[in-house]
Amino acid sequence: MPTFVAAFFLPYTVDFHDEPNDAQQHLQQQQQVPPPRPAPPIRIPSHKSLHELQQPSLFTGPTPPTTPDPNADLEEFFAQSRPTAAKHFLKHSDARAFIRNDSHIDEWDSSAGIFNQPRSRAGPAPPDDILEYAKAQEKLKQQRERKQSPRTRSSRASSGERFTGDNWTIEPAVQGNGGLANAVRAAQNSQNVEDVLWVGTLGFPTDTLLDGKKEEISERLENEYDALAVYASDSDLDGHYAHYCKTILWPVLHYQIPDHPKSKAYEDHSWVYYVNINQAFADKICRSYKRGDTIWIHDYHLLLVPGMIRKKLPDAQIGFFLHSAFPSSEVFRCLSTRKQLLEGMLGANLIAFQTSEYAHHFLQTCSRLLIVEATADGVQLEDHFVNVTSLAMGIDPGALATAREEQEVRDWIKVIRERYADKRLIVARDKLDNVRGVRQKLLAFELFLNKHPEWRGKVVLLQVATSTNEKQSELVATVSDIVTRIDSVHSTLAHQPLVFLKQDIGFPQYLALLSVADVLMITSLREGMNLTAHEFVYCQDGKESQSKKHGPLILSEFTGSAAVFGGHQLSVNPWDYQKCAEAIRIALEMTDTERARRYERLRHVVMTQTGEYWMSALSKQLTQVHEEHYQRDTMSIPRLSVTQLTQKYKAATRGRLFILDYEGTLALHGSVSLQVITSPQRVIDTLNELLEDPLNIVYIMSGRTPEELERLFRQCPGLGIIAENGCFVREHSPNASETIPWLEFPDLEQMQLWKGAVRQILQYYHERVEGSWIEERHCSLIFHYENAEDMDGAARQAGDCANHINDACESQRVHAVPTVDKAVVIEPLDWSKGSAAAEVYMKLRHQAMEKQQEEARISADGSADEELSAEGKVNSEAVAKSTGVRLASQTPAPIDFLLVAGDDREDEIVFRWANKLADGNGLAGKVRDVTTVSVGKRNTEAMATLTQGTTGLVTALQRLARSC
């Protein structure tokens, strides 16, 4: 079945030939406008130097006067082979096709310089001033209310006629996620993933195109390239990408909180555009979807799409992968649309991140902001479970090897080696934005040159800094000052220590630099995964340059790649200039043996965790997760057949075990003093009727204390009880008059140690939530806020409380779980209803084994006395040898009928344990007839559901008790 791969940019775009170029016409119009009057010169106070007004140096004295840019000739040198569609973006059918993993031309409406495409008709960005912004919004609202005039329609139609010709071609796009495209292609070539159908935008404005032309392009893309084009208005696309994604969402995901005045205006006006684009993607996928298809949504541009698709396709198999970083909950909560974004992501069956750190941040954010239970495996929602995982993306070594064999790459290797002969070359390539750490890298390099004068004249930093469309004049000015200072202080007539290229370079040049570099330096302040590091490791095998191989990798600890490489790189904190400068020295002075040792470890990671493996593993995991979700869905689980259950009940001969949850299963939720039980006497009578049969063993399990449960079930002598979710057990007794003591699994003194610390935390939140109260049990604490006056504020405090406790008390083996009952339960991790149920069963098994061995001992020929151990107990191995009785692991199950009933998350672990007994998995053997029943409509691992609630279960139990 097809796999939909949805990303904001398609890996294809359109190039219109023999058509007037919008970009050229726009440039000509600008050139005809008289140039603006020059600004008056900046007056510098006599007591301040120019250097003092520029970026201050942390390492040197005053900056010498500005000198001409020495990099100008080098820009021309590297610009001999600028990227063009013909030379660097091969056809999809070409076996050598390889898309740059780190393509830096990823801005919306930015490929017009390479392809002939229309320009955007989107309106201007919102003004900075709040009052002006309000006026602009009101004006925009009035324009929307007015109908479009015929003059406007005709003008648009006439301009669209400029792109109506038939001379256009489909070209590989220069924007988008190249690593994703390479991974998908590699998985297709290995036949691990088949029938991929891309979904995305064309990467350029389409308002100019007529509907007939859009349909024509769509048909060719779908028929020849297996791609579905998503069309939206230029305003929607511009507001979504340039305003919301790049100005709001991208900075927050990378720990850069937007604090400039325009960010608020962008967020207010562009959210609706973000929703519109996500809805357009969801609608496009839903129209083409067939039952059995797989849907993969990629990256932060489309966070709402999984939830939108889930509303229309409840049974769809949906995966979401976030390629960027995901911040801590403290940062993500700064978004005003945080709840909508999280709920949109949770529409997927599987949510995947680059590293476990980002997955942990997501789980913590969901727990804190949505007040849901987050486990190590995912998020438990009210009606379903969403799996969360992490798997780092990789490169395609096969395609990269083919690209390296190009003659142009070899030519550039030769040219660069000759130009930088006898120099140690440090290579870097980054976008010039606030998260790539270019400024920090240059300051560290400057400090290195100042501290180690012996390396002056011997080392060159070649920094490729690709520009962006973002208005970051302050950063650009700061970087320019640093570049000027380094050149002025450390350059000579024969040597230039810093080559700063304010342009991108061609792919052959890029591969050549990676092949001849001595060091690669990446100092990103935050980055999901930097595949440049992976490509550098691959190109350092010495195949194309024997004298330059096994180069060390200096890598920021804040990149996803740092977690993947496992410390075999030189890990640095970009803000620690001293350590970064020291890392440069270590890299340059590293011995060949050490370089080779580190390189082999790095290469192993690159060659095993490839893009193909990433895509294939995620696809398999999504299939498995979807199948599990389907099996747990109440629509897929059959109703409990009381007739079949009765037949199994009658067929039991060895014994029957009932493990029944109390609250929500036999009774409604509520406090002990206000406990409401449907026909209370009916429940008591039913339990007593079951206990009258000597084959029946009945246990009630609850989160309540032993004292409370004893009081509730004092009329049921012989009833077994599991209290406080498995921390206490009172065993079943066939003798109604016998008093059975409680088994305490935890050490109550140890419980007091963590409860003291947790109680202080709960008291802090109790004082901040009016109407809240704290309930203390023997082994748990519960923070209740169901009576809070401000429910929204109380929910936020409850989420903070749960995360606070989980972070502070992780080493004490306790966890805090928000519940649907508007409470936070803090309980130990080591005991549960499942562990108590297993203990009850193993006790029964041990009793059955001892009984069997005793019978075998009596029937033995007088040698039974020799089989007693020092404690007077039967030695099972000795008896087995002398009598042929099977060992404990082979002893038949003590029962042949097991019924487990429950209604909430705490009962799922008991369902899981019982289902294993039904399958015979594990050392406990196999029980012939096992039935697990979920009372309610939540997703579950139970074998059957009972939607009639507590009344239906009591009726079924009565029927069983009276059937024999």
Give me Rg for the CA atoms of the chain. 35
Which one is the CATH code of 398-609: 3.40.50.261, 3.40.50.300, 3.40.50.2000, 3.10.20.30? 3.40.50.2000
Please compute the mean of the pLDDT values over residues 267-286 and round it to a whole number: 91
**Average of pLDDT values for 783-810?**
89
Give the whole-angstrom CA distance, residue 117 versus residue 208: 10
Q: What is the per-residue burial (b if ≥16 Cβ within 10 Å, else e) of 930-950?
A: bbbbbbbebbbbbbbbbeebb
d(C-alpha 235, C-alpha 70), whole Å: 42
DSSP state of 702: -
Residue 777 has pLDDT above 80, yes or no: yes
Q: What whole-number percentage of the chain has pLDDT above 90?
A: 51
Residue of 619 and 161 predicted with greater confidence? 619
Helix H, strand E, coil C: the string for 559-618 is: EHHHHHHCCCCEEECCCCHHHHHHHHHHHHHCCHHHHHHHHHHHHHHHHHCCHHHHHHHH
The answer to whether the 398-609 and 642-745+832-857+890-962 domains have the same CATH topology is yes
**What are the two backbone dihedrals, phi and then psi, of residue 578, each rounded to the nearest 5 degrees?**
-60, -50
DSSP code of residue 866: G
Number of Cβ atoms within 10 Å of the Cβ of 281: 26
Task: Give the span between the Cα atoms of 570 and 649, in whole angstroms.
Answer: 66
Rounded Cα–Cα distance for residues 593 and 550 (Å): 10
User: What pLDDT band is residue 40 in, cutting at 50, 70 and 90?
Assistant: very low
619 within 8 A of 193, measured Cβ to Cβ:
yes
Q: What is the pLDDT of residues 124-148, one digit of tens each?
A: 766 655 566 667 667 766 665 664 4
Over range 199-209, report the average pLDDT. Answer: 91
Is residue 595 within 8 Å of 551, Cβ to Cβ?
A: yes
- pLDDT tens digits for range 675-686: 444 447 888 999
Please, what is the average pLDDT of the chain?
Answer: 82
CA 896 from centre of chain = 44
Residue 406 backbone phi and psi in degrees, to 5: -65, 140
- Spans of all domains in the chain: 398-609, 642-745+832-857+890-962, 753-828
Topology of domain 753-828 in CATH is Hypothetical Protein Ta0175; Chain: A, domain 2 (3.90.1070)
The C-alpha atoms of residue 855 and residue 490 are separated, in whole angstroms, by: 94
Q: What confidence score (pLDDT) does residue 889 get?
A: 47
Q: Which tokens hold the place of 649?
A: 């009940």
H/E stretch holding 74: helix 72-78
Q: Do the Cβ atoms of 925 and 844 come closer than 8 Å?
A: no
List the beta strands (DSSP E) in 323-423.
350-353, 373-374, 378-380, 385-390
CATH architecture of 642-745+832-857+890-962: 3-Layer(aba) Sandwich (3.40)
The pLDDT confidence band at residue 486, using thresholds 50, 70 and 90, is very high
Q: Kindly report which listed range (94-98, 376-380, 841-845) carries the lowest average pLDDT score.
A: 94-98
Residue 450 is inside which H or E element, if any?
helix 438-451
Rounded Cα distance between 29 and 305, Å, is 40
Q: Are 565 and 554 in contact (CB under 8 A)?
A: no
Lowest-confidence segment of 78-87, 188-197, 200-209, 509-518 by average pLDDT: 78-87
- Separation CA 182–CA 612 (nearest Å): 8
Q: For 234-311, list the strands marked E by DSSP.
A: 294-298
Longest CA span, the chain:
119
pLDDT at 333 over 80: yes
Neighbour tally for 717: CB within 10 Å:
15
DSSP character at residue 812: G
Which tokens belong to 900?
Answer: 């487990």
